[in-house]
């Protein structure tokens, strides 16, 4: 056989060999590695730690039951201190050094907005953000999947509550960043539907307790009600100062505050404060997911179920359900496709839905109020687009 013929045969043989494609980072036959970057220190650390506790408890419980298609879920944690620049740095480390499969459980609008370009550029799924900002929902970012209701949903519920109680003027005291602006925008929309405008506005800076200037503006305006926007530290300071000065306005805030931490800091000083929630009341037993998360937290987290760790557990359950449905051969692309195809999937008594046009699993808002130094239920509301009734 001639040398030319041998070369020709070798070339044909080589063309028939199917070279293995490079697998996505962070996934092996035995492990799925997730990266969580959020506030583990600083004034918002209760949120990051709570979300972490709930997610870890669920994943540990799932791993004890065999994991997902024989794979154990590992959660790698990094602290961004609720600062956007640190969130960017730690996210890059997660992707480039830790080689995670997907990102999970971020906390806050400014931090999430900061990492959005990275997520898009590197095509990494980011599932479960502890923020209701519409910038993370519309337009849809293919890689970003929200589980909780939006701030527009929460603001609508709060304004409806105030108006039903007879409020004619509603002010907003907010953190001066993307988070505060997101809730301010939602409040303006809700008031506009009722022919009203925000009666007064005042702000404070992120990661500070400097609330006195903002309170002074509210004392001057004397609104019937105030929507407060911030984590538990500065809002606890604001509420205590407001009580001391005799401010009569109704006070309310959205779920991001960290209900359990706020109640712990305020005690009876918080009586009357209304808080919108994006998870069911954690002290009820009517839903299977509530019971499951409570048992997982008791077994692996060694802490009672509350609002923030419940959200962590519920969010972990949504992601684990998608990983299970994606099958043994899951990769990043198929995970995104599986999430997009989830419609009215039962998550322990709650129906989760995504689509290519809408990356938010739940819409329902649950209303609570601090009474006698404890949190209690008011009622729940569903926005017009709530899908469980479709």
Torsion of CA 64, 66, 72, 74, to 10 degrees: -30
98 shares a domain with 142: yes
Q: What is the pLDDT of residues 35-65, one digit of tens each?
A: 999 999 998 999 999 999 999 999 999 999 9
352 shares a domain with 375: no
Domain assignment of residue 23, yes or no = no
Cα separation of 185 and 150, whole Å?
Answer: 12
Q: What is the pLDDT of residues 333-380, one digit of tens each?
A: 999 999 999 999 999 999 999 999 999 999 999 999 999 999 999 865
**Residue 268 pLDDT:** 87
Query: Which has the closest alpha carbon to 73: 104, 50, 44?
Result: 104
Query: Which has the closest alpha carbon to 43: 75, 78, 80, 91?
Result: 80
Q: What is the CATH number of the domain that holds 348?
A: 3.40.50.2300
Domain assignment of residue 24, yes or no = no
**Residue 383 pLDDT:** 52
HSE-up (13 A, CA, CB side) for residue 53: 22
- How long, in residues, is the chain? 390
Domain assignment of residue 11, yes or no = no
| DSSP H or E stretch at residue 83 | none
pTM of the model: 0.89
Following DSSP, what letter does each residue of 235-261 receive, concatenated?
A: HHHHHHHHHHHT--SEEEE-GGG-HHH
384 shares a domain with 343: no
Domain assignment of residue 324, yes or no = yes
156 shares a domain with 87: no
Rounded to 5 degrees, what are φ and ψ at 40?
Answer: -100, -5
Give the domain extent around 137.
31-149+283-359
Q: What is the pLDDT of residues 287-345, one digit of tens each?
A: 999 999 999 999 998 999 999 999 999 999 999 999 999 999 999 999 999 999 999 99
Q: What is the pLDDT of residues 152-184, one digit of tens each?
A: 999 999 999 999 999 999 999 999 999 999 999
Please, what is the average pLDDT of the chain? Answer: 92
Q: Which residue has the higher pLDDT, 106 or 15?
A: 106
376 shares a domain with 240: yes
Cα separation of 37 and 30, whole Å?
Answer: 23
């Amino acid at each position: 056989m001639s040398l030319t013929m041998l070369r020709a045969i070798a070339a044909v043989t080589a063309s028939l060999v199917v070279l293995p494609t490079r697998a996505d980072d962070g996934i092996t036959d035995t492990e799925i590695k997730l990266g969580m970057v959020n506030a583990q220190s600083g004034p918002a650390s209760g949120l990051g730690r709570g979300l972490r506790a709930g997610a870890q408890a669920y994943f540990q419980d799932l791993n004890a039951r065999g994991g997902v298609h024989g794979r154990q879920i590992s959660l790698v944690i990094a602290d961004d201190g609720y600062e956007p620049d640190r969130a960017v740095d730690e996210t890059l480390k997660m992707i480039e050094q830790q080689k995670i499969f997907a990102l999970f459980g971020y906390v806050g609008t400014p931090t999430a907005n900061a990492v959005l370009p990275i997520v898009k550029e590197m095509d990494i799924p980011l599932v479960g953000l502890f923020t209701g900002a519409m910038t993370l929902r519309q337009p849809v970012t293919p890689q970003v999947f929200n589980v909780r209701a939006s701030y527009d949903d929460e603001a609508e519920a709060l304004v409806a509550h105030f108006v039903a109680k007879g409020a004619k003027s509603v002010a907003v005291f907010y953190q001066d960043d993307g988070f505060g602006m997101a809730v301010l925008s939602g409040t303006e929309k809700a008031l506009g539907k009722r022919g009203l405008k925000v009666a007064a506005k005042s702000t404070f800076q992120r990661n500070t307790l400097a609330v006195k200037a903002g309170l002074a503006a509210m004392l001057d305006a004397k609104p019937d009600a105030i929507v407060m926007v911030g984590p538990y530290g500065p809002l606890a300071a604001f509420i205590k100062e407001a009580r001391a000065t005799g401010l009569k306005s109704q006070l309310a805030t959205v779920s991001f505050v960290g209900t359990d931490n706020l109640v712990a800091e305020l005690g009876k000083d918080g009586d009357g404060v209304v808080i919108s929630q994006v998870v069911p009341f954690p002290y009820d037993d009517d839903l299977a997911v509530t019971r499951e998360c409570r048992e997982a937290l008791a077994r692996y987290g060694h802490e009672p179920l509350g609002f923030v760790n419940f959200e962590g557990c519920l969010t972990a359950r949504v992601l684990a359900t998608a990983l299970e449905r994606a099958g043994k051969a899951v990769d990043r692309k198929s995970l995104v496709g599986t999430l997009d195809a989830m419609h009215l999937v039962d998550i322990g008594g709650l129906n989760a839905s995504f689509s290519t046009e809408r990356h938010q699993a739940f819409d329902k808002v649950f209303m609570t109020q601090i009474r006698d130094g404890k949190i209690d239920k008011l009622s729940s509301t569903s926005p017009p687009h709530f899908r469980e009734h479709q």
